[in-house]
Structure 1
């Protein structure tokens, strides 16, 4: 009973924090993007963005600690939420700041595991778009000032991110630094996984529709067969009654005289 109360408290906390954490993830997204897209902005803009990132990180850290405290099995919670732990423990590593945003997407995605296919596909589609945009920002930050780098603008980064996530790989743009290549590997793996989830859920939706159509068709066929059998029985009954009435209506022939 005590474990059930703890589990209920943990679920209530996660449900209550879903919308605020999503809003904070948007704040983090804007703060992260502004620093990369506008490198020549005034210092106060960059400092404000950095403060916003730290505030968001603090909110994620508090959320993780509270969920860990409410979890019935502490070690099981740590093992089942590795990305959340990494996002909290590595706030100073620039590329891994994106894990804080990804952890929020995963937090929202956990709420959608039991949702219908359309709802889940919407969540995953949003994760694909978010991952592509922030992968673009991360590789632009790493490659823009690299010697011999060819990803210099946001447009180049978005194009490279799109071709990388879809594993097309035209080769016209590619990272030249080690960190950029690590980002590319992560983007390829994540893109394949997320797009695979979208494809699987769309296929599952079509299959469920076909199954419902087949079930409706089978019900209609059974109904028609039952109606046909009933009509046959009625026809047989009508024919029987007609024969009976016809026989009763025929008068008996008079006996012959001797």
Structure 2
């Protein structure tokens, strides 16, 4: 994508405000889930903020689609992350550094910088995904018959073990939607772990190769 294109200019202008909006969305959602004794008018205020921000995210998606000059289905399939964060606005913060765009735009920079960015993005994504997933699953599991997830601390522990692919099994979702969320988190955990491991391994290989090339012959 050309940096002077209308779509690129729109992204540069809106990325930071939308990221701040995504943090507000998560804060409002967390307040509704965790603050059970919150007055009803404040809960309604949080809900109104969430709906308003979701409409903003949806409008941003439509603007990007129009600026991209593609058929809707093609745009939705080729801009998968944009589509996901509209359907699941809790994942909107993952748009802060889209991995594909970073790789494409940083081709001429030192490779170490790219690897560091990939690891930083994966780490940030893990934290955001873990917190969002813990909130979403806790909302479904709280009070469910036979639930082993009784506190938000249990939900955080479960999210950490799930994303790290450890899966102790001491806490498991029992509701249908909770298990759907858990399946998505397992897949994301594998992807993020693979991204970090692959980037670190590639950096080590390049470092050792460079050191071998610089070593004098015969040594």
Shorter-chain TM-score category? 0.7 to 0.9
| Aligned position for 2:138 | 140
How far has the Cα of 1:107 moved from its partner? 5.8
How far has the Cα of 1:164 moved from its partner? 1.4
> Any runs of at least 4 consecutive aligned residues in structure 1 with deviations exceeding 3 A, and if so which?
82-88
| Aligned position for 1:37 | 34
Matches within 5 A, 1:46-57: 46-57=43-54
Check the 8 A contact 2:118/2:195 in 1, yes or no.
no
Check the 8 A contact 1:128/1:195 in 2, yes or no.
no
| Aligned position for 1:113 | 103
Q: 1:87 to 1:4 in 2, by over 3 A?
A: closer
Aligned length: 209
How far has the Cα of 1:104 moved from its partner? 4.2
Check the 8 A contact 2:115/2:199 in 1, yes or no.
yes
| Aligned position for 2:63 | 66
Supply the distance in 2 between the matched residues of 1:83 and 1:124 (Cα, whole angstroms).
14
Q: Which stretch of the first structure deviates more once superposed, 132-141 or 202-211? A: 202-211
RMSD: 2.4
Q: 1:4 to 1:182 in 2, by over 3 A?
A: closer
Determine which of 91, 105, 109 is the counterpart of 1:102.
91
How far has the Cα of 1:198 moved from its partner? 1.0
- TM-score if structure 2 supplies the norm length? 0.86
Determine which of 165, 168, 180 is the counterpart of 2:166.
168
Check the 8 A contact 2:54/2:89 in 1, yes or no.
yes
| Aligned position for 2:155 | 157
Supply the distance in 2 between the matched residues of 1:172 and 1:122 (Cα, whole angstroms).
30
How far has the Cα of 1:113 moved from its partner? 2.7
Secondary structure of the residue aligned to 2:5 is helix
| Aligned position for 2:178 | 180
Supply the distance in 2 between the matched residues of 1:73 and 1:124 (Cα, whole angstroms).
29
- TM-score if structure 1 supplies the norm length? 0.74
Supply the distance in 2 between the matched residues of 1:25 and 1:111 (Cα, whole angstroms).
20
Secondary structure of the residue aligned to 1:70 is helix
Bigger radius of gyration, 1 or 2? Answer: 1
Supply the distance in 2 between the matched residues of 1:28 and 1:57 (Cα, whole angstroms).
8
